[in-house]
Amino acid sequence: MSLPVLDYLVLWWGQQPVGVLSIDKGGAMHFTYGADWLADASALPVSQALPKHTEPYDDALCKAVFGGLLPEEAQRIAVARALGISPDNPFRLLAALGGDVAGALSFLKEGEKPPIFDHKTPPSDPLDDAALLALFERLPRAPMLAGEEGIRLSLAGAQSKLPVILSGAGIRIPRAGEISTHLIKPEPLHFAGLAANEAYCLALARAVGLDAAIAEWRIALDRPYLLVARYDRKHSDEGSTERLHQEDFAQALGVPPQRKYAGDGGPVFADCFALLRRAATRPATEVLKLADAALFNLIIGNADAHAKNFSLLCSDDGHVQLAPLYDLVATHAWPELAPKLAMRFGKAATLEEVDKETFALFAAEAKLGAPYMRIRAAELADKIIFMIAGGFEVPGLADMRKVGDLAAGIANRAERLRIKAGG
C-alpha cells in the first residue's frame, strides 16, 4: 500500500510538461507520466529506463534516473550543506537545483512554468579574471552557486563545474530562463595539470577522428580552468540556443550513481553496447563509435571511464546517438589514482593485461569481429602516434611543454597497444 504524497514537482521537457515526480511520507519518490505526454506518439520517454506507460515508477528507478542529475560525492555534500538539505534527499535537492540540469529537463513547483528569457533584459556582467578566480574559490563551499538568489543549476559528477554563457563580451552567469552554452571546470588544487591534461586528451580525440567535446584551456590569474562547449545545446543562425535531451548510461540503465563503477556492480561494456543497440537510431554506427572510445581510453590511460562518463544524446527530431566523448583524462599521470579501468577491456583491467584473447572477449561483448577489433586498435594507435609526432592544435594551450610528458606517455602506450593488436 502506497503512502500519502507529501510533495511533488512537475517534470518539464523544454516548454512541455511530461509528468509528476512525487515524494511520499516515507521518503520514497515516484514518477508518473502525464496523460497528454502518453497520448502523444511523438513524445519520447524521458529515459531508456522509464518507458512510457501509465503506472508510476518506484523509488529505485527515480533515484537512478533523476538522482543521477545531481552532483556526487563531496560536491553533493557541499551543495546540500549550502542549501540546508540532507544529501540523502534527492527530491529536495532537485526542487532546489532542478531548474536547469543536463539535457532538456526541468523540475518545477506546481503552477510554475519554465521561464522564457527576455532578450530585452540587459545581460549580466562578464566575469574578468579576478571575478573568475573569486568564483572558483566560492564553488567548493557552494557548488553550482547553490543558495544564491535566482540560480537553480545542477550537473552530475564529482568534479567542481559550473554552467555559464560564453558571448562576445566574455563569460557570464546565466540569468533566469537563460540557457547556458558552456561549462567551466576549475582545476582542482590537488591535481595540478588536470585542465591541460583534459584539454589535450579531448583535442587528441578530435584530431584522430573521434567525436569529442570542444574544450579550451584557460587561466584566470594563476588558476587554470577548462572551458567546455556544451554538446547538449543547439544554436540557430539567429543566435538563439535550445536545450537537447541527454542521459548518461547509468541513468539509461537504471543504475544509481553510487554504482557507476563496474567494480561496485555497475554497468560493464556488454551492458553499454546492448543499450546502444536498442536505443540508438543507427545502432551499427554508434556501436563502432563506442568501441573506438574504449580503445582510445585504453591508449590514453583513462581509468575513470565509467557508465556516467558516456551518454545518449537526443536531437530535436528524436534521433538518438552516442553523445560526444567528455571527461577524457589520462588518469595514469597521477600514480596515486587507481590504474585499473572502470570497465574492463575484455578481461583486461590495465594495458599490461591486454593480449590476443582480450580483443576476442571485448569483440564478443560488442558483437563485433575479433579481427576487426585488432585492426581498429592498430589503426587508432597509429593515428595517435602520428598526431603526437606531428603536433596538433590544443585550443588555448600555446605552451605544449605543459603536456610534454603526457604526450610522450600516451605515444608509448599507443605503440604498446599497436604491437599487442598485431600479435
- The CATH number of residue 196's host domain is 3.30.200
- pTM score, two decimals? 0.93
**Among the three residues 195, 229, 263, which one is the final residue of a domain in this structure?**
229
User: Number of folded domains in the chain?
Assistant: 3
Indicate if 42 and 167 belong to the same structural domain: no
Indicate if 252 and 220 belong to the same structural domain: no
Indicate if 102 and 152 belong to the same structural domain: no
pLDDT at 112 over 50: yes
What is the model's pLDDT at position 254? 97
Indicate if 311 and 362 belong to the same structural domain: yes
- Does residue 257 fall inside a structural domain? yes
Indicate if 252 and 170 belong to the same structural domain: no
How confident is the model over 76-98, as pLDDT tens digits? 888 888 888 898 999 999 988 88
What is the model's pLDDT at position 118? 62
How confident is the model over 170-193, as pLDDT tens digits? 999 887 778 889 999 999 888 899
Indicate if 139 and 268 belong to the same structural domain: no
Concatenated DSSP letters of 7-28 = EEEEEEETTEEEEEEEEETTS-
Indicate if 255 and 350 belong to the same structural domain: yes
What is the model's pLDDT at position 423? 56
Q: What is the domain range of residue 29? A: 5-108
List strand residue ranges (DSSP E) for 105-181, in order: 105-108, 162-167, 170-172
Write b or e for each residue in 364-403: b if 16 or more Cβ atoms lie within 10 A of its Cβ, otherwise e.
ebbebebeebbebbbbbbebbbebbeeebebbbbeeeebb
Indicate if 180 and 41 belong to the same structural domain: no
- Does residue 118 fall inside a structural domain? no
**Residue 54 CA to chain centroid, in angstroms?**
30
Indicate if 263 and 332 belong to the same structural domain: yes
What is the model's pLDDT at position 152? 45
Which among 396, 419, 410, 413 has a CA at the least distance from the CA of 187? 396
- Does residue 76 fall inside a structural domain? yes
Least confident of 239-253, 289-303, 374-388: 239-253
pLDDT at 144 over 60: no
Indicate if 338 and 283 belong to the same structural domain: yes
Q: Which three cell numbers stand for residue 138?
A: 566560492
Which among 381, 375, 357 has a CA at the least distance from the CA of 296? 381
Indicate if 293 and 414 belong to the same structural domain: yes
Indicate if 289 and 349 belong to the same structural domain: yes
**Among the three residues 79, 108, 137, which one is the final residue of a domain in this structure?**
108
Q: Angle at CA 95, nearest 5°, toward 80 and 14?
A: 130
**Residues annotated as part of the active site:** 304
Q: In sequence order, which ranges of 172-302 are alpha helices (DSSP H)?
A: 194-207, 249-252, 269-279, 283-300
- The CATH number of residue 311's host domain is 1.10.1070.20
